Amino acid sequence: MIVEALGSRGRHWLLAATLVAFLVVAAGGEAQEVTFARDVAPILQENCQSCHREGGMGPMELLTYEQVRRYSARIRVKVAARQMPPWHIDPGIGIQEFTNDVSLTDEEIATVVRWADNGAPLGDPADMPAPVVWNDSGVWKLEKQFGRPPDLVVKSPPYTVPAQGLDQWYEPVSHIAELQEERWAMAAEIRPASEKSRYVFHHANSILVGSAAGKDYDVYPSDSGRRLEVNQRVDWQMHFFPIGEEVRDAAVEVGVWLYPRGVEPELRPS
């Protein structure tokens, strides 16, 4: 190895030179202060605000500088530990390229950590990106991918969440009465069925699709799918939590995108 060829004095010189180079790079990096307006706000808009806003499932809003600065220390811990945004793929093994990856890059994590460690400065308000206009008009996320709303919407039986108490678990059974013939699903998306349901919703599962923090739809690989029988039975598992006021008719709904009638995917369960 080169280091061995240099000998003891050479190794010491190489290590010292490397340390100096590192310090120079670090010092150069410190020259430009990381600010909320220019550096952190775009990261939050892209990766966090879809949940951390009014009506979202996040426990606090992270839209303005004042809101974010209040939680900067907590944000730093969660981001550095890769707990937020929620993405449960181990970054050290296996496949890492996913079209729906919501995790932060190493560079984005370093930016947020450095900002919090330096006192969470605002920076120049003129650098602030325009606020995101969120579409809560009932459009499904997969509509953009498929170019149309779901072919079938299945709603869970309603549940009344009490104002106070422990987490609520609801496991009803229903049937898809609209299915009068066998059909094949190519994708499914799950979401709270109303604004009030969104406030008490934590996660839910059905035979069609499951949801958790960071996941709310499944798209089956090309030429594969799930078979749905006539009057298909649907088993639901839902987790709600009290918010200080009673919420009636809490429910979730699943949008299903179907293959055309008579089309069966080549890859299907035996």
Task: List the one residue out of 188, 157, 180, 182 whose CA is nearest residue 255.
Answer: 188
- CA of 26: how far to CAs of 19, 33, 61, 104, 253, in Å? 10, 12, 33, 22, 50
Q: Name the amino acid, one letter, at 220.
A: Y
Confidence (pLDDT) at 267: 81
State residue 94's pLDDT score: 87
Predicted local confidence at residue 239, as pLDDT? 94
State the pLDDT at residue 214: 66
The confidence score (pLDDT) of residue 115 equals 97
* pLDDT confidence of residue 32: 83
Query: Looking at residue 137, what is its pLDDT?
Result: 63
**Which residues of the chain fall below pLDDT 50?**
1-30
